[in-house]
Amino acid sequence: MKYYINVLKNYATLSGRTGRKEFWIFTLINLVFATVAMLADRQLGICFKMEIGYGLQTLPYGYVFGLYSLATLVPTLALQVRRLHDVGKSGWFFFLFLIPVVGAIYLFVLYCMGSSAGDNGYGPEPK
C-alpha cells in the first residue's frame, strides 16, 4: 500500500525513475480499486446506459468509477513516464500505445524490463 500512496504523493512528477516493483504493485492496487468502484456503481444502480442496436445495454461503470479514474489519471500517466525513464527511454515512448496492438505489446515489454544499471540520464537507480 505504501507504493500506491507514494505514487499518489508524486502525482505530477515526470522526472526521475520508478522501479518495476512500485509500478506493478500500484497497477495491481489500482485495478482492485477500479473493480470495487465498478461494483459500487452496479450496486448503487448508477451505471451508464448505451444504446446498441435496438435496445439499451447497461455498461459496467458509472459515476464512482468515472471519478476514481479521473482522480488517478495524472498519477498513472506520471508513473508510466517514470517507468519508461527507468528503462532508459524517453517519456514520449508512452505514445506508442496509439499504434494498434504492436504499440501496446512493446510498452508492456518495456514495463516488464528490469532497470538500467546505475545512473542514467533520468536520475539514480530507484533501488
pLDDT at 79: 95
Q: pTM of the predicted model, to two decimals?
A: 0.85
pLDDT at 25: 96
Rounded Cα–Cα distance for residues 90 and 55 (Å): 46
Task: State which H helix or E strand residue 50 sits in.
Answer: strand 47-52
Residue 124: DSSP 8-state: S
| Number of independent structural domains in the chain | 1
pLDDT at 117: 82
User: Looking at the domain assignment, is residue 118 inside a domain?
Assistant: no
Rounded Cα–Cα distance for residues 18 and 73 (Å): 17
Tell me the pLDDT tens digit for each residue of 44-97. Answer: 988 887 777 677 777 788 899 999 999 999 999 999 999 999 998 999 999 999
pLDDT at 108: 95
User: Looking at the domain assignment, is residue 42 inside a domain?
Assistant: yes
Over residues 11-25, the mean pLDDT reads: 90
Query: What is the amino acid identity at position 86?
Result: D
Tell me the residue range of the domain where 24 lies. 2-112
